[in-house]
Amino acid sequence: MLYLVTGTVIRIGEKHAGMQVLEVELAACAGEEAGPQKALSFAQEDYRIGDTLLLNTTALRLQLGTGGFHLVVGKTGEEASRDVMPSKWGHIMKMRYSPWQLAVDAVEEQASPFHDLFRQPDLSLDGTPVLIGELHSLLPPAILALKENDPQLRLVYVMPDAASLPIALSRHVQQLSRSGNLTATITTGHAWGGDREAVTIHSGLLAARHVERADVIVCMLGPGVAGTGTSYGFSGVQLAEVIHAVSALGGTPFFIPRISFADQRSRHYGISHHTTAILGRFALCPVLVTLPRLGDERDAIIEEQLAAITDSRAGHRLAYGPAPSVARLDALEKGYGLSFSTMGRSWREDPVPFQTAVLAADLLGKSLSYPAEALSGEQRLSASSNTLEALALYLTRSGERP
């Protein structure tokens, strides 16, 4: 299904970087809800009350979680040609051969001022830590905890294309960038709208390190993931590719497991089957998995579920630490300005996902004092399972000190 409807702008709403909210009145047609409705536009153009728009209403017809917004395809009845996504040198197309394909300024392409950098065949991450996670809702607590521990860190967010494609859809990215907690953003694959654009996750990671000079790279899916209730058809499977890229490029991969004890679905209770599928079956290179000690019977549930990860041929390593307090979550949220919530639940209803993300940030921060040569080495090889085991032991001992 691809359902298109015309509508009229009746109010101009809030405008953010790369995105504008409009209120529209849809043309009368069967199956559409009557009355004013909201629409998102990612085009860089001005709107006036009375403008007629072509709108994609498919997601709301299917009652999907788009936040209650239709999507603007474009204005109708406009005779003059116009560029609603201007670029400087871009010849790389994203969303190729779709009606909304656009040319972006990719960091790697020939006209880019960074092209010669990417011509180097041995370009490496040089041991740079990369924090990998599935849920976009955990981006704020992870970023805020990293900056709380070291305000001078340069943090760069790399967004893959397995979920939303326009990064402007993320209010968290807008808030974190506006507050200075994020140094830069990079959109990879068909995702677009970041401070930098990259063709692949590999060049996106390298751009974070060498163009934006990241101390820490954070790679989480954007908002709007897909799931099918199976271990094969969910957006997070792409994180296996991210793990492989970090490993091949000589980075140090940290993984935030998806853990919840408030989700009523058995497959997401404790460690989610998404995490066990990614790490237990699809990832072929080791990562350091950060795990909270909750101090009650939930620890035993987590330990039992970990077998699916630790028995993997990839050789993943585990780093433990006491779960950050709910008082700390409260303080981080109050300083942030937006609420923390995941899967429709606040941190008060479901604190463990957020505690897990904050702990991952804390342990990654402690890893920055670990000898760099132990991770990257002269040959710039990926962090081996043995190296990650030594790092995990170092972090676990450090994290459990009174």
pLDDT per residue over 387-399, tens digit each? Answer: 899 999 999 886 5
Provide the CA 246 distance to its chain's centre, in angstroms: 15
Answer for the pair 367, 252: CB distance below 8 angstroms, yes or no. Answer: yes
According to the model, what pLDDT value does residue 168 have?
Answer: 94
How high is the pLDDT of residue 68?
77
Least confident of 27-31, 94-98, 265-269: 27-31
Show the tokens assigned to 48. 């006036």
Query: Are the C-beta atoms of 6 and 39 separated by less than 8 Å?
Result: no
pLDDT in tens, 195-229: 999 999 999 999 999 999 999 999 999 998 999 98
What pTM was estimated for this model as a whole? 0.92
Q: Please tell me the least confidently modeled range out of 84-88, 177-181, 254-258, 370-374.
A: 370-374
Residue type, 353: P
Q: Look at residue 391 and give its three-state secondary structure.
A: helix
Enumerate the H helices of 72-155 as residue ranges.
115-118, 139-149
- pLDDT of residue 377 exceeding 80: no
What angle is formed at CA 139 by the lines to CA 117 and CA 326, rounded to 5 degrees? 145
226-260 pLDDT per residue, tens: 999 899 999 999 999 999 999 999 999 999 999 99
Rounded mean pLDDT of 326-350?
Answer: 93
pLDDT digits (tens, 9 = 90+) for 95-143: 999 888 999 999 999 999 999 999 999 999 999 999 999 999 999 999 9
Domain boundaries, the chain: 4-75, 119-399
For the domain spanning 119-399, the CATH number is: 3.40.50
pLDDT at site 396: 87
Report CA-CA distances (Å) from 302 to 234, 305, 315, 326. Answer: 22, 5, 18, 20
Cα atoms in the Cβ-side hemisphere of radius 13 Å centred on 225: 23
Q: What pLDDT does 17 receive? A: 82
Q: Are 393 and 321 in contact (CB under 8 A)?
A: no
**pLDDT of residue 278 exceeding 50:** yes
DSSP H helical segments within 54-160, as ranges? 58-61, 115-118, 139-149
Contact assessment for residue 172 and residue 202, using Cβ atoms and an 8 Å cutoff: no
**What is the b/e burial string over 284-295, where b = at least 16 CB atoms within 10 angstroms of the residue's CB?**
ebbbbbbbbbbe
Q: What is the predicted pLDDT for the residue at 343?
A: 85
Q: Which of 365, 360, 355 is nearest to 296 (CA)?
A: 355
Find how far residue 61's CA is from the centre of its chain: 26
Supply the CATH classification number for the domain 4-75.
2.40.50.220
pLDDT the model gives residue 120:
96
- pLDDT tens by residue, 39-58: 999 988 889 999 999 899 88
Q: How confident is the model at residue 401 (pLDDT cuts 50, 70, 90)?
A: very low
By residue count, the chain amounts to: 402
pLDDT at 34 exceeding the cut of 80: no
CA distance linking residue 352 with residue 364, whole number of Å: 18
- Given a cut of 80, whether residue 306 has pLDDT beyond it is yes
> Helix 385-399 crosses helix 352-367 at what angle (to 10 degrees)?
110
Q: For the chain, percent helix, then strand, then coil, each to nearest 5? A: 30, 25, 45
**pLDDT score, position 33:** 65
Mean pLDDT of the chain, nearest integer? 91
Strand partners, 291: 320
